[in-house]
């Protein structure tokens, strides 16, 4: 079954024209979905690209519904439509104009300078077989930690990425998105170097630790498939 986010939003927004009915229905949906989501988070990997996107979108929707209920206004409830868009992208001259009007985000340079890849990130990478999988999961994890996504994509501009520079959205150059991906790899290997020093003696005395070192040293120094990573990232970020 395909999850139709826009159709679901329309169902919520147009389900009732009466103020009390709208508030009652939204409250019921919110409580029901919160319970389901909290249960899913405990049992599913939120780093899965599609699960992560679904949970992120529902949480954004829920936050807007809470705001609407607090304002106690049917007009506010109607504004939930803005979770996905205030106006159609077609109403704007370019994706950049659309993003500048509808979305705020941290400057991309600041986002890069605050990237946090730690020992927990490395241990997650140890569980995966391929470097490309490690990188895409770390990239999505970093993006999901930001209050507002610092990178966006538009479905009609395939494999094109947009980010904020000096508070204005613009298209990312190919080398800029590649540098971001490469930065994640370098940071992962930097943490791996720390792990290697901490476990240096064990690599000589413990076969299991030595195997972990050899396997992940090969993996983290292998060549990244930037094309594949960008394709997966585009599908995650698409508006």
Ordered alpha helix ranges (H), the chain: 5-14, 19-43, 49-71, 74-78, 95-102, 108-113, 119-126, 131-145, 174-198, 200-205, 207-220, 226-237
Beta bridge partners of 163: 151, 170
The answer to whether the beta carbons of residues 125 and 135 sit under 8 Å apart is no
**Higher pLDDT among residues 140 and 196, named by residue:** 196
pLDDT at position 188 is 95
Provide the mean pLDDT of the chain.
75
Residue percentage of the chain with pLDDT more than 90 = 42
pLDDT at position 81 is 38
pLDDT at position 237 is 86
- Enumerate long-range contacts of 180-185, CB under 8 Å, 24 or more apart: 180/112, 180/139, 181/135, 181/139, 181/224, 181/226, 181/229, 181/230, 182/224, 183/112, 183/115, 184/115, 184/117, 184/135, 184/138, 184/139, 184/142, 185/131, 185/135, 185/220, 185/224
Lowest mean pLDDT among 50-54, 105-109, 202-206: 50-54
Question: Tell me: the pLDDT tens digits for 35-93?
Answer: 555 555 544 554 555 566 566 566 556 555 555 554 544 443 344 334 444 455 557 78
CA 75, CA 116: separation in Å to the nearest integer? 40
pLDDT at position 230 is 92
pLDDT at position 126 is 94
Question: How many Cα atoms are found within 13 Å in the side-chain-facing hemisphere of 101?
Answer: 15
Say if residue 118's pLDDT is above 60. Answer: yes
pLDDT at position 215 is 95
Say if residue 189's pLDDT is above 80. Answer: yes
Say which residues have a Cβ less than 8 Å from residue 150's Cβ, sequence separation at least 6.
Answer: 105, 106, 107, 108, 111, 143, 163, 164
Domain residue limits, the chain: 1-84, 89-239
Lowest mean pLDDT among 8-22, 35-49, 149-163: 8-22
CA 234, CA 155: separation in Å to the nearest integer? 9
The reply to whether the predicted model has a pTM over 0.75 is: no
pLDDT at position 156 is 82
Q: What is the mean pLDDT of residues 158-176?
A: 93
pLDDT at position 225 is 93
**Higher pLDDT among residues 17 and 104, named by residue:** 104
Q: What is the mean pLDDT of residues 169-176?
A: 94
Q: 160 is written with which tokens?
A: 């094109």
């Amino acid at each position: 079954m395909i999850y139709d986010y826009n159709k679901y939003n329309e169902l919520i927004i147009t389900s009732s024209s009466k103020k009390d009915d709208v508030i009652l229905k939204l409250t019921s949906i919110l409580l029901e979905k919160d319970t389901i989501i909290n249960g899913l988070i405990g049992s599913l990997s939120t780093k899965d690209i599609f699960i992560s996107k679904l949970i992120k979108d529902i949480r954004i929707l829920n936050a807007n519904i809470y705001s609407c209920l607090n304002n106690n206004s049917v007009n506010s409830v109607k504004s939930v439509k803005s979770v996905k868009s205030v106006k159609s992208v077609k109403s704007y001259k370019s994706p950049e104009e659309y993003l500048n009007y509808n979305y705020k985000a941290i400057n991309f340079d600041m986002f890069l300078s605050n990237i946090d890849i730690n020992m927990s990130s490395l241990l997650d990478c140890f569980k995966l077989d391929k470097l490309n999988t490690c990188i895409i999961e770390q990239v999505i994890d970093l993006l999901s930690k930001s209050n507002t996504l610092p990178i966006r994509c538009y479905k009609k501009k395939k494999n094109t990425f947009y980010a904020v520079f000096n508070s204005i959205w613009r298209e990312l150059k190919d080398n800029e998105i590649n540098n971001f991906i490469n930065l994640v790899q370098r940071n992962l290997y930097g943490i791996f170097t720390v792990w290697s020093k901490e476990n240096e003696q064990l690599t000589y005395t413990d076969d299991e630790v030595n195997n972990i070192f050899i396997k992940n040293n090969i993996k983290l120094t292998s060549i990244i498939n930037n094309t594949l990573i960008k394709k997966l990232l585009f599908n995650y970020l698409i508006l």
